[in-house]
Structure 1
């Protein structure tokens, strides 16, 4: 595609609940614009948007797809985002690099679980918003019902630009309210027609509402309206543009993507109404504590931001970014604030699905990619070395489903770990961590489908297979009473022997204080050079407690007396004596198991409050408080981590996907005696 000026670029993404038809709309838009010769089908795995084997297997999108669509002299940089809730991180990255979002709604199911969530994401990113009601040809499709749901459930002033000509099996096409013409679909494409008599009054009523929505935003047009002067289509479009860019008007359009009905009209309006990069004005960044304004245009210094990284075993890392200001040429030096270093742009690309077109230049408004720079990460700011600035990072949803990862083949531990860390660089909503206490590799994702897709990707891309399981809890042990113990380590086997003799005082510390060591040796009972060995012996003994082999915390140990032998004493002897003394004292000091308690916040519609609170109580949770936020109920609770490993899937089941939660570590607390006995029994069985 020939390069166009920045004011002719339109950047947008499609967002929706899964199954609303984004990929089919993308396919028909590519077809209508001449980018592809024939549209593919999701069911056949032939679409240009869902090109990954995992997407063809599951029949839904799992990553963003990027396209450039020429339309009416403009270049529409088009991002097709996944609709499945497990892949909301892709929506986050897309919204950061576009200027508009088109919400796709299924005409026969209306507002669904993920619809509100992605709409709120678009609001938070302050992009221009549109709605397209798809599948108006399906049984049960009702425009009025869906439009009422939109008005009642989503924020904004919604104004229809097109309405359906018939619904369900009677669907014949669309009616363009601005032009007051019908567009009927058939085997030879869409054809224009007069408004049918049965719809004439409805069209006139909606056109008047559209006119009033536009003129009330413009004093000049308002005066013309009150003076009964004609307002032209050109003036209406100009008023719509201003209203959309200010967020005062959200256009609603309809169609049937599978029949290629309403798609050309959608493209016409998007091409006209989506703000150009030059309309955005300034972008704000910072450098060394100072706020910096960046003018969105070709003439300024180069500034860009990476919205997504993709790791390929053959071409390496591909970093997809939006140019916010200036131009970037192949071979140019780029400053990366996070690295505080410069890199060279060796190869630049534009993307069309899985195809990559090499280009020499990317300018303000362009969405392109830079290859084979392993140090770059998602959210990184890129700038001219002489114009240093850093932009706000992309805020991604926090993954909450944690599993253990084990290689399917013995001996593949290191290879599996390496591959999973590479995947986590590509996907910020997938995290990998090694738990030193439980000696497990933990993977955390957005849900079971997310983790299943990552398994498929690891197998296909890198030849690594792994299985997941329920993680172990990082229990700890502590004491409840103060004790004093003596231990003497004495060994004589001919020649030089071993001798170490210590008196230890062991006492509990407040929860969360960790470990303290002190010495109160007088008169040289233990020479000072052996005191570090005593501490080391205690620390090593604390690594495995006496109840179930878990680390010991929250205690203070003081060595206050002992004795030594001028010949046989050694650091090793005192370390062993101290270790034995600590274990003996631990057994006498009323040891208990501690478990991690999590700070949990659950956000749900009010109708699920009772079920959620009952479920949290069944998990040994303690409710800390309740409040309202944006029309939803917020429940805060402290819940043992052992009860939360399946909560991501359980919450989805309890609320039909309408609930969400966050969780972070709060503190350690005593395990109830009955559960403590079960843990110790299970641990002893494992050890045996």
Structure 2
């Protein structure tokens, strides 16, 4: 826990907001849980905007892209800064700067969530009070766990029919395994939701219904019919945080009173540990609970100093740590690229150490080049504000830096270190794309190249056999948005082929493979000979390559080319030419020729050895399986289950929530095309669904021949 510190003379003269009073947070959740609406209320209550924007009206501040406003969804993460001052607790009366990133909820844009969480210090996970934890909520939660992000939970939409705060809280415990405890309780639900009970102060806040903005509320005593419930949940809250604070534990066991500030500090310590989640009910749309959420962000989520130093490697691959300190050399991570119509290429940058001045030079260890930062900006959605200096803990945008990709470290040249970049899922769908006219060819190439730089999950390749351009992404909507952006931003009309699934291949047994590349054509020939052993790995383990050569049967300089050949061969398997995953190759033997051996010959030997071994290792074809959740009125349950079964779906379970039935299933991605239309037809438009990538599974033998024939006609690969 970091106590409130007075600014040091050095800091106070140069920083508007000291590090202790800075919060970098993200708002993340399942699609349509209310993230953008929640962000919009924060901006209104903090004074950044003076009129509340609405998603359904297409004027939300952080949904600034035309495609976002038309569809009513968030597509790209938007960064925005605001100030917040609490009236209670250890930070009372102190201005805090809160940098917020509003992330997309749709599974097709999960990369935006991934890279945002990589650079954030804390997060607010939003759930709905009706559905509770949904499939994409689970994905986002796992991403937060992956990057060790402390978090609060906001149970939104308490005004909706069927809302139940405690039931939604229980789904967090059951489905996420979260140590979740209420910081507030709801007063009423559905149309009777009128306020919150503060379990720290043990008072109630009742909103003034005559003030639709939600600014006015009265602090009153806890309603008599909820006082027992409030005492029970406060006791449970104290018991939960006592595991993280010895002083609280001793007082709790001895029955002593615990003050508000003591409890707040204990909740903060527990939250920063990532092993506790405070939960707050509210209704962003009806303007209730958002102020309490923001007070909790200041009180409980960490500042950059509360977290462990960022880990990286120096040029010799020795581990290094980077901690927030304005006086040291600058180091930070480029986590997002964006093309701005007015200023060109924007590089979103998190400063982890040092301070960065406009006009200074940053070194990129990946390219071994230095580049000048011509301008520095703080982003406010699609607006921007020029600044002269960015300090440790800041999130800013750089202009003038050219040769950068997502995940690059940019630092002072004397440091020459690399911070751990975010990781991204592989594309699951691809299609061919062609310009409508020959005149559009060059514009399309430029547009696609820029879009692929911005989006790490958007793949771009060329098919050598057909000459077609192949684009790959996370789903139909993802590729549809790409085509739409080509048209609007780059003025390119393009037609797309039929979507192709990104299948994978793997092996189910072990085998040995021999590869020989021998060419004699007069003069110096070519000679390479490699023997490998291949074995299968568990799902998700990827590819492992090991050199087991002893006695110099293959000279050291030819080992790497041989392994490179194996990696290259794994890009196209022996069944239908799809990438091979989850296997281990050991290079065990081989031979060489004093004159004729070369790197190229051993690379070819590696390719031949891999193909030989894979054919003998019982290869199988894998297809992407989606986790699908369908919400439907009970009367349509039978028809929808039957339809999922026809799509080779495996029903995992059903759950009734009021009059709604939730169907969980695993369904092959190939059979989900057009599902939205069929589902609405079967349910008279009353059902809804969401899906998220789950895993790869074996394709039934009866379907393999058809897939092989399709891939040979249009060999699109991801």
* TM-score, normalisation: structure 2: 0.70
The Cα of 1:650 is off from its aligned counterpart by: 7.9
1:259 maps to 286
Contact 1:651–1:659 (8 Å) recurs in 2: no
2:385 maps to 357
2:25 maps to 12
**Inter-CA distance 634–173: structure 2 relative to 1 (3 Å threshold):** closer
1:336 maps to 364
Count of matched residue pairs: 552
The Cα of 1:610 is off from its aligned counterpart by: 13
Q: 1:204 pairs with 231, 245, 265, which one?
A: 231
**Inter-CA distance 512–118: structure 2 relative to 1 (3 Å threshold):** farther
Larger displacement relative to structure 2 (6-15 or 452-461) = 452-461
- The CA distance in 2 between the partners of 1:211 and 1:339, in whole Å, is 52
**Inter-CA distance 449–386: structure 2 relative to 1 (3 Å threshold):** same
2:419 maps to 391
The Cα of 1:381 is off from its aligned counterpart by: 0.4
- The CA distance in 1 between the partners of 2:694 and 2:38, in whole Å, is 32
**Inter-CA distance 430–514: structure 2 relative to 1 (3 Å threshold):** farther
Contact 1:438–1:472 (8 Å) recurs in 2: no
**Structure 2 residue matching 1:399: 3-state secondary structure:** coil
**Structure 2 residue matching 1:216: 3-state secondary structure:** helix
Q: 2:319 pairs with 291, 298, 308, which one?
A: 291
2:693 maps to 660
The Cα of 1:465 is off from its aligned counterpart by: 2.1
- The CA distance in 2 between the partners of 1:611 and 1:289, in whole Å, is 53
- The CA distance in 1 between the partners of 2:181 and 2:154, in whole Å, is 11
1:540 maps to none
Larger displacement relative to structure 2 (409-418 or 645-654) = 645-654
1:379 maps to 407
* TM-score, normalisation: structure 1: 0.73
> Can you list the C-alpha shifts for 1:305-345, whole angstroms capped at 9, x where unaligned?
01110013442110001111111111112111111121111
Query: After the TM superposition, which residues 42-441 of structure 1 pair with which residues of structure 2 at under 5 Å, given as runs?
Result: 42-72=55-85, 73-186=95-208, 187-188=210-211, 189-287=216-314, 288-441=316-469
2:588 maps to none
Contact 2:331–2:354 (8 Å) recurs in 1: yes
> Can you list the C-alpha shifts for 1:601-638, whole angstroms capped at 9, x where unaligned?
647599999999996799xxxxxxxxxxxxx9999xxx
The Cα of 1:392 is off from its aligned counterpart by: 1.3
Structure 2 gaps, min length 5: 1-13, 86-94, 503-511, 527-575, 578-618, 631-639, 651-663, 680-687
**Structure 1 residue matching 2:419: 3-state secondary structure:** coil
**Inter-CA distance 47–656: structure 2 relative to 1 (3 Å threshold):** closer
- The CA distance in 2 between the partners of 1:185 and 1:376, in whole Å, is 49
> Can you list the C-alpha shifts for 1:222-264, whole angstroms capped at 9, x where unaligned?
2222233221111111111110011221000011111211111
**Inter-CA distance 437–664: structure 2 relative to 1 (3 Å threshold):** farther
**Inter-CA distance 436–617: structure 2 relative to 1 (3 Å threshold):** farther
Q: 1:28 pairs with 35, 41, 53, which one?
A: 41
> Can you list the C-alpha shifts for 1:560-613, whole angstroms capped at 9, x where unaligned?
xxxxxxxxxxxxxxxxxxxxxxxxxxxxxxxxxxxx975446475999999999
Contact 2:377–2:386 (8 Å) recurs in 1: yes
- The CA distance in 2 between the partners of 1:286 and 1:513, in whole Å, is 36
> Can you list the C-alpha shifts for 1:399-431, whole angstroms capped at 9, x where unaligned?
111011111334322221221111010111111
> Can you list the C-alpha shifts for 1:183-237, whole angstroms capped at 9, x where unaligned?
1222332222221111111111111111111223222222222233221111111
**Structure 2 residue matching 1:461: 3-state secondary structure:** helix
Contact 2:624–2:669 (8 Å) recurs in 1: no
CA RMSD of aligned residues (A): 3.8
**Structure 2 residue matching 1:411: 3-state secondary structure:** helix
Contact 1:601–1:634 (8 Å) recurs in 2: no
**Structure 2 residue matching 1:163: 3-state secondary structure:** strand
Structure 1 gaps, min length 5: 475-509, 520-527, 533-549, 552-595, 619-631, 636-643, 684-688
**Inter-CA distance 513–262: structure 2 relative to 1 (3 Å threshold):** same
The Cα of 1:468 is off from its aligned counterpart by: 1.3
- The CA distance in 2 between the partners of 1:473 and 1:513, in whole Å, is 31
**Structure 1 residue matching 2:16: 3-state secondary structure:** coil
**Inter-CA distance 612–261: structure 2 relative to 1 (3 Å threshold):** closer
**Structure 2 residue matching 1:412: 3-state secondary structure:** helix
**Inter-CA distance 650–393: structure 2 relative to 1 (3 Å threshold):** farther
Contact 1:416–1:464 (8 Å) recurs in 2: yes
> Can you list the C-alpha shifts for 1:63-96, whole angstroms capped at 9, x where unaligned?
0111111112111110100111111110001101
- The CA distance in 2 between the partners of 1:65 and 1:163, in whole Å, is 31
Q: 2:472 pairs with 433, 441, 444, which one?
A: 444
- The CA distance in 2 between the partners of 1:517 and 1:614, in whole Å, is 53
**Structure 2 residue matching 1:460: 3-state secondary structure:** helix
The Cα of 1:270 is off from its aligned counterpart by: 0.5
> Can you list the C-alpha shifts for 1:157-190, whole angstroms capped at 9, x where unaligned?
1010012110001111211111112112223322
**Structure 1 residue matching 2:285: 3-state secondary structure:** helix
> Can you list the C-alpha shifts for 1:361-401, whole angstroms capped at 9, x where unaligned?
00111000101322111111011112221011110122111
